Amino acid sequence: MNSMRCTHRDHTIIADVLEHPGSPMPWAAGCRIIEPSGQMTRRLPLPVHHAFMAELEQAQHASIAHGKWLVDQALDHGRELSSRAA
């Protein structure tokens, strides 16, 4: 499965969608963000009440949108891109 990705404000956002077979909403949306310095976050899931979706493409698009929002929050409001990989 190819992972959807984009560049937003010099950050690379990669959709990191997990499958939960057998569930009516089997796709759990999340993303990883690579900063311009090369540092990558661990998987950043969407809030649980928005994370699960019925279609893979829908989950990938939501993951990218969430990543863009996280980058905007970090750059515009000084919030850390939390949960960085060790």
CATH number of the domain encompassing residue 18 = 3.30.160
User: If you compute the radius of gyration of the chain from its CA atoms, what whole number of angstroms results?
Assistant: 13
Is 19 within the bounds of a domain? yes
Q: What is the spatial distance between Cα 37 and Cα 25, in angstroms, rounded to a whole number?
A: 36
Is 66 within the bounds of a domain? yes
Is 83 within the bounds of a domain? no
Instruction: Decide if 61 contacts 68 (C-beta within 8 A).
Output: no
Q: Residue 1: its pLDDT value, please?
A: 52
- Residue range 6-57, pLDDT digits in tens: 999 999 999 999 999 998 999 999 999 999 999 999 999 999 888 899 999 9
**How many domains does the chain fold into?**
1
Range of the domain at 39: 5-77
